[in-house]
Amino acid sequence: MKKLLKKITFIVSTISLITLSSISYAEDQIRIVGSSTVFPFSTAVAEEFGRSTKFKTPIVESTGSGGGMKLFCSGIGFEYPDITNASRRIKQNEYNTCSENGIRIIEVKVGYDGIVLANSKKGSLYNLTTRDIYLALAKEIPVNDNDLTLIDNPNKTWKDVNAELPNIKIEVLGPPPTSGTRDAFVELAMDSGAKSFTALKDLRSSSKEGKAEFKRIARTIREDGSYIEAGENDNLIVQKLEANPNAIGIFGYSFLEQNSDKLQGSNVNGVEPEFEKILSGDYVISRSLYFYIKKNHIRIKPSLLNFAKEFTSEGAMGFDGYLADKGLIPLSENEYEEVKINIINLVELEL
Amino acid sequence: MSKNINSMMLKRQSAEKRFRFYGQASLAIALIMLVVIISSMTYRSIPAFTNYGLNLNINLSNENISQDNINYRRLVRDNISLLDSGCDDRKCRKEFLRLFSSGAAYELRDTIENDPSLIGKDFSKFILFSDDADLFYKFGIDNSLPESERRLNDREITWLNGFKELGLVEKRFSTNLFTNGDSREPEIAGVLGAVIGSLLTILITLIISFPIGVLSAIYLESFAPKNKLTDFIEVNINNLAAVPSIVFGLLGLALFINFFGMPRSAPLVGGCVLSLMTLPVIIIATRASLQSVPPSIREAALAVGASEMQVVFQHLLPAALPGILTGTIIGLARAFGESAPLLLIGMVAFVVDIPGSFTDPATALPVQVYLWADSPERAFVAKTSAATLVLIFLLIIINLAAVILRKKYQLKW
């Protein structure tokens, strides 16, 4: 018994010594944080970079766009990340925080991501307009086009929303408010739907307060069970859609692409959610993806610039690159050229 | 009168029978749940344990090359092109190449680096198919769907069927699952990095929480004066055991990373955070097992003149050890399956390299399960179940250790 205690003490102290003596920072290892939407692309590049060069594989964390910006902008040095991914552009206040901490940023636009509304192939295909989406999902809607009197959303079925749609209960599985996908969805789909009401459109252009009020009306999603928050996990939504053919799910295009044998994407404003249509911008619910490089770190981490070059290479970000295989919608040729030039000249972002 | 007693007896007996039945029924339900979980996990994970591939002839004999100037990617590409694809344009060749794992070039590099004598020879190397082709061999494909909605087009299906008819296709056990770190390609992704990350983390947790937990329990139990302050501490320890684990993550971020400046994503920090979570469990378990040692032992030792410290370390602690070890291991097992606090200290990350020390970036097994469950590629569904099985297996081993240790040091009064 005493022996055992002694043994434990010995092992414990040995290991503690080893641990304490091994504290050091990985000098030239890139650290990436940020958006969970960019995560699958960023990791694919990181892996390729780690395998095809002599540099260490970058560490990619999925913290969400906002969380990533916060970490990224908090300082310069080995303990702060070198790159942050974002599924939206950097905000002015985030940029200011960065500048206050002496951080200079290079912005790289990576490509586009479509947000799709899809249901099981067992159900019927929906032809939606953004107005339909707004009418089906908003918490409050105006009584008619020219009247700003708001009522609680009374629509129970898609037919209530639009007589041409099937008589099926509205059941939409989508991301929770913490998700970047949700932000982008309400901004792109709901705003555009709300704008189709003359009264709301006038409200938006009336004044600053009016604009804020418009945002509140357009972007508040109903909470009576028609919109079901299904968590951040898109795979889970896909599985639930298979089980319930009447439900519609909201998620990123790459999940639709991977499950195209089971799911169909609803047309929005008459446009199918297809690679070419998102690329051309005809499909309206699509957003830009970015990553931001900390210019101050380029000198201390030689691999950083190489990583940026790998990410923006033809083989990765190009039209036939491996990121397109993973579901990224590539940039147009002009945009792509601009991104490449920005990287070569290390052009700093000014806001 | 006797009739009355008989009926009362009957009533009591049937109440007892009913109670026994309820007990058995709940046990049965618990067992069925366990069986359902494990068997559905196992069933879903089956595809993850095998991979399809083919033996590719690698032609290295008629080329003037040394180990330094081999372009492995090109080498694989050229040798794949020797298979008859019937392609004459770039797009077609690209589709053909896409049937094979993008990791093939790196596996070939490892093979040649391990055995440089292969240079100058012709040999055959087993290379894996990509995830879509692999799923095709495992599950087939729904031909009734239009071509654009399938993951593989008609031409690709013809090639894959062709390989099969020629007898080139081979199914092998997927060693990658156990020998590789994470990857974005399902066919080469493995759990080794996560398993090692988890073990390093748990080791740190053990090192920190075991001695501190046991010593503070001993002090509180045997030496501390009974007053308001110790009561307050006691209440707090009991409360800490019930705090949601994410809170410890927040604390860890503020304390270990921001204040002490420890590296992010490291098992060292993960272990520190999890030990905060495990400490109260160990303290409570240790106190409970110290209390369960019969007072006669303590009194006898004191009566023959042992000091308070001798009583504790020579008599109480050995007798309480089985209980302490069980409590510790249960606490560690809980920490092992924890992912929420790791989120905030950066261990929910994509880490390819297998961690070699306590300060290398690492991830943990529950986090790996989460990351795979969130990946769009369908082949990761099976991988997720396989990783869960590995997690369950490791937890069973940990619990088994608890049982064995308890048996070994059990004392009978």
CA distance A172 to A266: 12
Q: Which of B58, B64, B139, B132 is nearest to B102 (CA)?
A: B132
- Which of B145, B207, B359 is the closest to A16 by Cβ? B207
Beta pairing, strands A83-86 & A286-294: antiparallel
Q: Does the structure show a pLDDT above 70 at A229?
A: yes
What does the pLDDT average to over B396-400? 90
Q: Which helix (H) or strand (E) segment is B128 a member of? A: strand B122-128
Cβ contact (<8 Å) for B264 and A258? no
Cβ contact (<8 Å) for B346 and A235? no
Q: Return the pLDDT at B282.
A: 95
Least confident of A21-25, A38-42, A310-314, B54-58: A21-25
CA distance B136 to B72: 27
For B291-319, b/e burial (b = at least 16 CB within 10 A) is: eebeeebbeebeeeebeeeebbbebbbbb
pLDDT band with cut points at 50, 70 and 90 for residue B81? confident
Least confident of A97-101, B233-237, B266-270, B373-377: B373-377
Q: Return the pLDDT at B14.
A: 92
Please provide the average confidence, as pLDDT, over all residues in chain A: 87
Amino acid B245 reads S
CA distance B138 to B141: 9
As to burial, measured by CB atoms within 10 angstroms (0-12 exposed, 13-18 middle, 19+ buried), residue B401 is: middle
By percentage, how much of chain B surpasses pLDDT 70? Answer: 97
- Which of A2, A40, A50 is the closest to B376 by Cβ? A40
Least confident of A152-156, B12-16, B85-89, B209-213: B85-89
| Residue spans of alpha helices (H) in B166-266 | 176-179, 192-218, 228-240, 245-252
Interface of A with B in 203-232 (CB under 8 A): 232
| Residue spans of alpha helices (H) in B292-378 | 295-303, 308-310, 317-336, 340-344, 365-373
Number of cross-chain residue pairs from A and B with Cβ atoms under 8 Å apart: 122
CA distance A283 to A236: 25
SS3 B9: helix
- A59 vs B contacts (CB less than 8 Å): 265, 346, 349-351, 361
CA distance B268 to B262: 8
Please state, in angstroms and as integers, the Cα–Cα distance from residue A221 to each residue in A214, B160, B161, following that order: 13, 47, 49
Q: Does the structure show a pLDDT above 70 at B63?
A: no
Cβ contact (<8 Å) for B184 and A261? no
What does the pLDDT average to over B242-266? 89
- Closest-CA distance, A46 to chain B, in angstroms, reads 9
Q: Which helix (H) or strand (E) segment is B106 a member of? A: helix B104-114
Q: Return the pLDDT at B121.
A: 80
- Ranges A73-82, A295-304, B200-209, B399-408, most confident: B200-209
Please state, in angstroms and as integers, the Cα–Cα distance from residue A274 to each residue in A114, A235, A290, following that order: 9, 19, 21
Cβ contact (<8 Å) for A15 and B268? no
What does the pLDDT average to over B367-387? 91
Ordered domains of chain A (ranges, CATH): 29-111+287-345 (3.40.190.10), 114-286 (3.40.190.10)
CA distance A186 to A158: 19
Q: Does the structure show a pLDDT above 90 at B35?
A: yes
- A31 vs B contacts (CB less than 8 Å): 264-265
Are A308 and A328 spatial neighbours (Cβ–Cβ below 8 Å)?
no
Higher pLDDT, A235 or A13: A235
Cβ contact (<8 Å) for B349 and A62? yes
Q: Is A314 on the interface with B (CB under 8 A)?
A: no
Residues facing residue A59 across a β-bridge:
A31
Cα torsion B373, B375, B376, B377: sign = negative
Q: Return the pLDDT at B148.
A: 74
Task: Tell me which chain A residue has its CA closest to the CA of residue B318.
Answer: A1
- Closest-CA distance, A226 to chain B, in angstroms, reads 24
CA B223 to chain centre: 40
Which pLDDT tens digit goes with each residue over A255-274? Answer: 888 888 888 999 999 999 98
Q: Which helix (H) or strand (E) segment is B37 a member of? A: helix B2-45
Cα torsion A242, A248, A250, A253: sign = positive
Cβ contact (<8 Å) for A79 and B257? yes
CA distance A349 to A99: 11
CB atoms within 10 A of CB B133: 26
For B179-208, b/e burial (b = at least 16 CB within 10 A) is: ebbbbbbbbbbbbbbbbbbbbbbbbbbbbb
- B145 vs A contacts (CB less than 8 Å): 261
Beta pairing, strands A140-144 & B50-59: unpaired
Tokens 């925080």, residue located: A97
By percentage, how much of chain A surpasses pLDDT 70? Answer: 92
Higher pLDDT, A16 or A193: A193
Can you give the length of chain A in residues? 351
- Which of A23, A258, A260 is the closest to B377 by Cβ? A258
Q: What six digits make up the tokens of B250?
A: 């927040």
Which pLDDT tens digit goes with each residue over A86-145? Answer: 988 898 999 999 999 999 999 999 999 889 999 998 888 899 999 999 999 999 888 888
Cβ contact (<8 Å) for B350 and A19? no
Those residues whose C-beta lies under 8 Å from the C-beta of residue A221, and which sit 6 or more positions away, are A137, A138, A139, A174, A186, A190, A227
Cβ contact (<8 Å) for B376 and A254? yes
CA distance A285 to A198: 21
Q: Which helix (H) or strand (E) segment is B124 a member of? A: strand B122-128
What does the pLDDT average to over B286-295? 93
pLDDT band with cut points at 50, 70 and 90 for residue A9? low
pLDDT band with cut points at 50, 70 and 90 for residue A182? confident
Are B130 and B99 spatial neighbours (Cβ–Cβ below 8 Å)?
yes
Which pLDDT tens digit goes with each residue over B302-336? Answer: 999 999 889 999 999 989 999 999 899 989 999 99
Least confident of A52-66, B21-35, B135-149: B135-149
CA distance A88 to A311: 18
Q: Return the pLDDT at A149.
A: 85
- Which of A16, A57, A258 is the closest to B376 by Cβ? A258
Cβ contact (<8 Å) for B151 and A260? yes
Cβ contact (<8 Å) for A23 and B359? yes
Q: Is A345 on the interface with B (CB under 8 A)?
A: no
- Closest-CA distance, B98 to chain A, in angstroms, reads 10
Cβ contact (<8 Å) for A79 and B264? yes
Q: Does the structure show a pLDDT above 90 at A318?
A: no
Question: Euclidean distance between the first and final Cα of chain A, in Å?
Answer: 69
Amino acid A191 reads D
Q: Does the structure show a pLDDT above 70 at A24?
A: no
- B374 vs A contacts (CB less than 8 Å): 36, 232-235
Q: Does the structure show a pLDDT above 80 at A15?
A: no
Task: Tell me which chain A residue has its CA closest to the CA of residue B314.
Answer: A2
Interface probe with A: pick from B90, B309, B375, B405, most Cβ of A within 10 Å:
B375
Cβ contact (<8 Å) for A320 and B349? no
CA distance A102 to B333: 44
Q: Is A313 on the interface with B (CB under 8 A)?
A: no
Cβ contact (<8 Å) for B207 and A47? no
- State the fold for domain B192-409: MetI-like fold (1.10.3720)
Q: Is A26 on the interface with B (CB under 8 A)?
A: yes
Q: Does the structure show a pLDDT above 70 at A14?
A: no
Q: Does the structure show a pLDDT above 60 at A23?
A: no
Tokens 């595809």, residue located: B47
Q: Return the pLDDT at A3.
A: 64
Are A83 and A68 spatial neighbours (Cβ–Cβ below 8 Å)?
no
Cβ contact (<8 Å) for B207 and A61? no
Q: Which helix (H) or strand (E) segment is B53 a member of? A: strand B50-59
Task: Tell me which chain B residue has its CA closest to the CA of residue A3.
Answer: B318
pLDDT band with cut points at 50, 70 and 90 for residue A27? low
pLDDT band with cut points at 50, 70 and 90 for residue A67? confident
Q: Return the pLDDT at B48.
A: 92
Cβ contact (<8 Å) for B203 and A47? no
CB atoms within 10 A of CB B238: 12
Q: Return the pLDDT at A49.
A: 92
Q: What are phi and psi of A82, to 5 degrees?
A: -95, -25
Q: What are phi and psi of A90, to 5 degrees?
A: -60, 140
Q: Is A277 on the interface with B (CB under 8 A)?
A: no
Q: Return the pLDDT at B1.
A: 58
* Domain ranges for chain B: 2-46, 49-174, 192-409
Q: What six digits make up the tokens of A334?
A: 């002009």
Residues facing residue A119 across a β-bridge:
A264
- A44 vs B contacts (CB less than 8 Å): 184
Tokens 């503690």, residue located: A16
- Closest-CA distance, A206 to chain B, in angstroms, reads 43
Q: Return the pLDDT at B179.
A: 92
For chain A, give the secondary structure using H, E and C. Answer: CHHHHHHHHHHHHHHHHHHHHCCCCCCCCCEEEECCCCHHHHHHHHHHHHHHCCCCCCEEECCCHHHHHHHHCCCCCCCCCCEEEECCCCCHHHHHHHHHCCCCEEEEEEEEEEEEEEEECCCCCCEECHHHHHHHHECEEEEECCEEEEEECCCCEHHHHCCCCCCCECCEEECCCCCHHHHHHHHHHHHHHHHCCHHHHHHHHHCHHHHHHHHHHHHCECCCCCEEECCCCHHHHHHHHHHCCCCEEEEEHHHHHHCCCCEEECEECCECCCHHHHHHCCCCCEEEEEEEEEHHHCCCCHHHHHHHHHHCCHHHHCCCCHHHHCCCECCCHHHHHHHHHHHHHCCCCCC
